[in-house]
Amino acid sequence: MGPQVEGKAVTDGIDVLVVGSANVDLVVKTSAFPGPGETVVGSDFKTYPGGKGANQAVAVARLGGRTALLGCVGKDPHGKLLRETLDLAGVDTEALRSRASVPTGVALITVDASGENSIVVVPGANATLGAEDVREFEHLFRAARVVLLQLETSLEAAAKALEIAHGFGKLAILNPAPAQQVPDSFFGMTDFLTPNRSELEVLTGRTVRTEADAEFAARLLLEKGAGNVVVTLGGRGALYLGRGSKRRVQAFPVRSVDTTAAGDAFNAALALGLARGLPLTDVLLFANAAGALATTTAGAQPSLPDLGRVEKLLGHKLGL
């Protein structure tokens, strides 16, 4: 796993504890994104289970990992749909709260002809997940090998999750999405930070246009205390930077139709690979392959690949 993660606890029970959001995705396809004040005609509309936390938990399960989701939904039909799909995928939902006072979160997603997407998230119940909710499930942190979180819940919940994971000596991965600034204290408790280009810009205040820009900005995050930084570069693969090490992972050529869950598949595979103790080079290839395959099918959770598809793309078994 590399020098920055040596000494982290490995326990039985849960490979990856995901702390994050559960949304229902309302997806429309169109030939091009509308500009300000413009109306365009969509070609298709579908409803999918989604949310970064739920997506990542389902992705871990589909890749053969043991996973649990700590999050929050409303007591409404959308919440029921999410709970049912998570249970069906094999995700432990013990820590999935249900709130009667707020609706389940939704994401309004527009996908253009090239497969790129534009997303508006309405957090709903996700925004009510607080530090006390996270603290109540400390036993799941203790049982987990890796803790994976994003920023679609409150910063308060994310901070508490990082604090508990750090306190138990667990490997913590922060996927800083959607893009927003976070307290500097987050970095020192994060073993792997996984921004894309736009998230990297927000975290550092630097413009990132080239790979050299990405490397410079990532090194700023290492200086802030992050253990390792993996910058996802879409069709150009990924860039890994650790203390004293750098690796470039090329993209896998696939026919992309919808990039919505690519980052979630990438982070799930990264977390599972680290949880199972794969060498870092294999972990990065695993994550890149999973992310690439997730762009080849429409919808977030429907696009998440199973282990067999990923190993076929890699051309070898991973030994998970």
pLDDT of residue 11: 44
Tell me the percentage of the chain whose pLDDT exceeds 70.
96
pLDDT of residue 109: 87
Q: Identify whether 178 is preceded by a cis peptide bond (ω within 30 of 0).
A: yes
Mean pLDDT for all residues in the chain = 93
Tokens of 185: 């204290």
Residue 178 CB neighbours (<10 A): 14
Domain range summary for the chain, segments of one domain joined by +: 3-21+52-98+127-314
- How many Cα neighbours within 13 Å face the side chain of 154? 14
Q: What amino acid is encoded at 128 in this protein?
A: T
Tell me: pLDDT of 243 over 70: yes
**Nearest alpha carbon to residue 183 among 159, 204, 164, 199:** 159
pLDDT of residue 12: 55
Tell me: pLDDT of 9 over 60: no
Model confidence, pTM:
0.91
Residue whose entry in the numeric block shows the structure tokens 């990438």 = 266
**Is the distance from CB of 158 to CB of 186 less than 8 angstroms?**
yes
**Is the distance from CB of 59 to CB of 85 less than 8 angstroms?**
no
pLDDT of residue 59: 98
Q: How confident is the model at residue 265 (pLDDT cuts 50, 70, 90)?
A: very high
Q: Per residue in 180-210, pLDDT tens?
A: 999 999 999 999 999 999 999 999 999 999 9
Q: Could you confirm whether 264 is annotated as catalytic? A: yes
Highest mean pLDDT among 98-112, 234-248, 265-279, 288-302: 265-279
Query: E-assigned strands of the chain?
Result: 14-19, 23-30, 42-50, 67-74, 96-99, 105-111, 117-122, 144-149, 171-174, 192-193, 228-232, 238-242, 245-249
Tell me: pLDDT of 5 over 80: no
pLDDT of residue 119: 84
pLDDT of residue 7: 44
- Mean pLDDT of the region 273-277: 97
> Which of 15, 264, 282, 306 is the catalytic position?
264
Q: Tell me how far the alpha carbon of residue 188 is from its chain's centroid.
A: 19
Tell me: pLDDT of 8 over 70: no
Collapse the DSSP code of 246 into the 3-class scheme (helix H, G, I; strand E, B; otherwise coil) and give the result: strand
Tell me: pLDDT of 2 over 60: no
Strands 117-122 and 144-149: unpaired
Collapse the DSSP code of 230 into the 3-class scheme (helix H, G, I; strand E, B; otherwise coil) and give the result: strand
pLDDT of residue 6: 44
Tell me: pLDDT of 160 over 90: yes
pLDDT of residue 235: 86
Measured distance CA(66)–CA(17) in Å, rounded: 9
- How many Cα neighbours within 13 Å face the side chain of 312? 8
Residue whose entry in the numeric block shows the structure tokens 């470039």 = 248
Residue whose entry in the numeric block shows the structure tokens 């959770």 = 301
Tell me: pLDDT of 10 over 50: no
Higher pLDDT, 320 or 165: 165
Q: Match domain 3-21+52-98+127-314 to its CATH number in 3.40.1190.20, 3.40.50.1360, 3.40.50.1110, 3.40.50.150.
A: 3.40.1190.20
Tell me: pLDDT of 55 over 80: yes
Q: Across the strands, what pairs with 109?
A: 27, 119
User: Of 2-16, 57-71, 139-153, 221-235, where does mean pLDDT reach its minimum?
Assistant: 2-16
Residue whose entry in the numeric block shows the structure tokens 């067999």 = 308
**Is the distance from CB of 133 to CB of 160 less than 8 angstroms?**
no
Measured distance CA(29)–CA(46) in Å, rounded: 9
User: Of 103-112, 124-133, 192-201, where does mean pLDDT reach its minimum?
Assistant: 103-112
- How many Cα neighbours within 13 Å face the side chain of 266? 31
